[in-house]
Structure 1
Amino acid sequence: MPKATFFNLNEAKRARLMRAAQHEFSRAPLPEVSVSAIVADAQIPRGSFYQYFEDKEDLYFYYLGTLVNNMEQHLLSLIKETKGDLFVSMTHFFDYAVEEVVEGPNADIFKNDVATNFQHAQNSNRFGKDRANYPFFKAMRDTEDEISRSVDRTSLKVTSDADLKALQRLIFMVLVHTIGHYFHSQKTNSPESLEDIKAEFSMTLNWIANGALKSKKELG
């Protein structure tokens, strides 16, 4: 995780380093990212970089963590605005998230296959026993807990915190898959539009909320 020396930097220098990180992470997938390019852009000595971060993966996950946390905070605001309605909030959140991921200032970072980058860095030894305390994962877990506390459960078939978090994760899996499907379609002869995937997500979310069957059916 970032070292104390990074957090001791003045705000202007931290911002300059983060802008340099954004430029480089937008340019290439994580395995191809150049620390040399980052330090040159940030105008710091290469040795200083390693006083702030363990390596490029460390910086990547710190930067990505700030993006994810900002998006989750937006979702939390939506849940509070809708008085805890998880499904209405997620409908509005998807519209915001997909436009942020596809057209926002960090769009190229998401296009550089965040899922692959995540898997690449997740295999790092640094995520061993200290995984739970790594800022990227801790921020996600803390926000997930706050979202769970803010959801109105009275209309949901959940009986425990674990049930609610499982439902939240299912919805997020659908969200990530839908956006991933959009990026994949852009490489084909039949690219989907943002309106296409918004409709796809809305349909799937409706199935989760109301079921895909016209009448109840015993499974198994």
Structure 2
Amino acid sequence: MPKATFFNLNAAKKSRLMAAAQREFSRASLADVSVSAIVTDAQIPRGSFYQYFEDKEDLYFYYLGTLVTGIERHLLDLVQETHGDLFVSMNRFFDYAVGEIMEGPNAAIFKNDVATNFQRARNAGQFEKKRGSYPFFKSMREIEDKISQSVDRSQLRFQNDDELKALQRLVFMMLMHTIGHYLHTQKEDAPQSLTAARTEFITMLNWLANGALKSKKELS
């Protein structure tokens, strides 16, 4: 995670460094990101960079974490606006998430296959051991807890906190899979349309909300 020296920076210097990171992460995927370009753009000595971050991956995960946290906050707002209806909220959230990814200020970062890189990093053993200390994971967990508290449980078949959080993760994974698949196809000869991607997500959301089977089935 970022070192204490980064958090102790004055607002102007921290903002300049984050703006330089945004431009460089927008230019290239993580593998091709240049620390030299970041420090030159931010107008700081290269040695100072390593007083703030362990390496470029450290900065990348910190910056990406702020993006994901911001997106989750919007979902929390939607859940509260819909009086706790998780499925209606996710329906509306799709358009917001796609807008952020395709047209928002960090669109180029997402288009650089950031979702894939982030998921791979979260599953990597080395990063997994450190993730608990990353501030954005703590913030994300806090937002997820607030979403759970805001969901109208009277609409659901269960009341258990763990089951509700599992449902939230499942719905979010469906969303990320749909968006990831859409972005991947944009590199192919027959790219998927945004309308088709939205239809795919809403279909899966309906399956989850209403069930895929006409009648109950014992899975044994």
- Under a length normalisation based on structure 2, what TM-score does the superposition of the two structures give? 0.93
Render the CA deviation track for 1:9-34: whole Å, top value 9, x for unaligned.
22121111111101111111112111
Change (3 A) 1:16 1:63: same
Asked whether the 8 Å contact 2:116–2:180 carries over to 1, the reply is no
Asked whether the 8 Å contact 2:79–2:85 carries over to 1, the reply is yes
- Partner residue of 1:156? 156
Q: Hey, what's the Cα distance between the residues in 2 that align with 1:48 and 1:113?
A: 28
Pairing 1:73–2:73 present:
yes
Render the CA deviation track for 1:175-216: whole Å, top value 9, x for unaligned.
010001101211222212222211211111011000112222
Determine helix, strand or coil for the equivalent of 1:105: coil
Letter matched to residue 157 of structure 1: R
Once the two structures are superposed, the pairs formed by residues 132-151 of structure 1 within 5 Å of their partners are: 132-151=132-151
Asked whether the 8 Å contact 1:79–1:86 carries over to 2, the reply is yes
- Please state which structure has a larger fraction of its residues in helix: 2
- Under a length normalisation based on structure 1, what TM-score does the superposition of the two structures give? 0.93
Q: Hey, what's the Cα distance between the residues in 1 that align with 2:165 and 2:183?
A: 27
Shift of 1:218: 2.5
Asked whether the 8 Å contact 2:2–2:54 carries over to 1, the reply is yes
> What count of residue pairs does the alignment treat as equivalent?
219
- Partner residue of 2:206? 206
Asked whether the 8 Å contact 2:84–2:150 carries over to 1, the reply is yes
- Partner residue of 2:171? 171
Letter matched to residue 164 of structure 1: L
Letter matched to residue 125 of structure 1: Q
- Partner residue of 1:28? 28
Q: Hey, what's the Cα distance between the residues in 1 that align with 2:171 and 2:128?
A: 25
Task: Give aligned-pair identity as a percent.
Answer: 69
Determine helix, strand or coil for the equivalent of 1:154: helix
Asked whether the 8 Å contact 1:86–1:151 carries over to 2, the reply is yes
More deviation in 182-191 or 83-92? Answer: 182-191
Determine helix, strand or coil for the equivalent of 1:112: helix
Asked whether the 8 Å contact 2:148–2:165 carries over to 1, the reply is yes
Q: Hey, what's the Cα distance between the residues in 2 that align with 1:65 and 1:146?
A: 18
Q: Hey, what's the Cα distance between the residues in 1 that align with 2:128 and 2:150?
A: 29
Asked whether the 8 Å contact 1:65–1:139 carries over to 2, the reply is no
Q: Hey, what's the Cα distance between the residues in 1 that align with 2:66 and 2:101?
A: 14
Q: Hey, what's the Cα distance between the residues in 2 that align with 1:192 and 1:117?
A: 21
Asked whether the 8 Å contact 2:39–2:49 carries over to 1, the reply is yes
Asked whether the 8 Å contact 1:53–1:59 carries over to 2, the reply is yes
Where do 5+ consecutive residues of structure 2 fail to align? none
Asked whether the 8 Å contact 2:82–2:88 carries over to 1, the reply is yes
Asked whether the 8 Å contact 1:127–1:134 carries over to 2, the reply is no
Q: Hey, what's the Cα distance between the residues in 1 that align with 2:127 and 2:181?
A: 30
Change (3 A) 1:70 1:105: same
Shift of 1:120: 4.3
Q: Hey, what's the Cα distance between the residues in 2 that align with 1:27 and 1:124?
A: 27
Determine helix, strand or coil for the equivalent of 2:182: helix
* Cα RMSD (Å): 1.6
- Partner residue of 2:17? 17
Once the two structures are superposed, the pairs formed by residues 46-61 of structure 1 within 5 Å of their partners are: 46-61=46-61
Shift of 1:124: 6.6
